[in-house]
């Protein structure tokens, strides 16, 4: 079963290499770069944190990002230990620097979809643009051959779970009113 999934993953990535254009390469590199280390989402959360009315939303974004980092980057990636496609058979197609960590699940996807879910529950007017950006971020990781499709799918699902958990958890964190 795992061999079939791996073959499916590799077939999709190989097809993506044939769809590349120089314009798409630049766009995908830009999208994935702004997602490195979740920086885009910390910058995105900052205006929420300074506005009293939206502070809980900014805080919830940070909680969701912490969940995705602790659960995905710190825990799941090291348990699964999946080698990235660019380290296996697609290295000659690599357009960005080879990421140093394991592949499963995609951290870019999980953080992006976690923020998307927070927006769905707490700031619906921004949900659609954030969701579209999250989808582009996830796609860029496959396009750039640093994640398999199943890494991205798992990352997106994990991000949705983290976002769904962060919303009620952040509302009940003790001393929230005191801290902010």
Q: How confident is the model at residue 155 (pLDDT cuts 50, 70, 90)?
A: very high
CA nearest to 65, candidates 104, 117, 28: 117
Q: Is residue 140 part of a domain?
A: yes
Q: Is residue 12 part of a domain?
A: no
Res 170: pLDDT: 85
Residue 64 and residue 52: Cα distance in Å, rounded?
Answer: 19
Q: Is residue 110 part of a domain?
A: yes
Q: Is residue 14 part of a domain?
A: no
Res 174: pLDDT: 61
Of the candidate ranges 41-50, 66-75, 153-162, 166-175, the one whose mean pLDDT is the lowest: 166-175
User: What contacts 116, CB < 8 A, 6 or more positions away?
Assistant: 127, 130, 131, 134, 159, 160, 163
Q: Interior CA angle at 115 toward 65 and 138, to 5°? A: 95
- Tokens representing residue 93 in the block: 């197609």
CA nearest to 101, candidates 28, 171, 159, 37: 37
Q: Is residue 107 part of a domain?
A: yes
Res 118: pLDDT: 97
Q: Is residue 18 part of a domain?
A: no
Average pLDDT value for the chain: 87
User: What contacts 57, CB < 8 A, 6 or more positions away?
Assistant: 48, 118, 122, 123
Q: Is residue 10 part of a domain?
A: no
Task: Say how many domains are in the chain.
Answer: 1
pLDDT higher than 80, residue 121: yes
Q: Is residue 68 part of a domain?
A: yes
- Tokens representing residue 114 in the block: 């976690």
Q: How confident is the model at residue 175 (pLDDT cuts 50, 70, 90)?
A: very low
Res 89: pLDDT: 65
Domain that holds residue 104: 33-173
Question: pTM for the complete prediction?
Answer: 0.87
């Amino acid at each position: 079963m795992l061999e079939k999934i791996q073959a499916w993953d590799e077939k999709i990535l190989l097809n993506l290499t044939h769809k590349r254009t120089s314009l798409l390469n630049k766009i995908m590199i830009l999208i994935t770069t702004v997602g490195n280390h979740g920086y885009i989402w910390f910058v995105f959360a900052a205006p929420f944190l300074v506005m009293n009315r939206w502070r809980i939303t900014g805080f919830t974004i940070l909680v969701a990002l912490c969940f995705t980092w602790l659960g995905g980057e710190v825990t799941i990636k090291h348990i699964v230990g999946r080698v990235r496609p660019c380290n296996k058979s697609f290295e000659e197609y690599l357009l960005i620097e080879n990421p140093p960590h394991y592949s499963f699940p995609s951290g870019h996807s999980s953080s992006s979809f976690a923020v998307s879910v927070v927006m769905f529950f707490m700031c619906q007017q921004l949900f659609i643009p954030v969701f579209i950006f999250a989808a582009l971020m996830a796609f860029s990781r496959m396009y750039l051959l640093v994640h398999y499709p199943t890494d991205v799918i798992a990352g997106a699902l994990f991000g949705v779970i983290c976002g769904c958990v962060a919303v009620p958890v952040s509302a009940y964190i003790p001393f929230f009113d005191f801290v902010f």
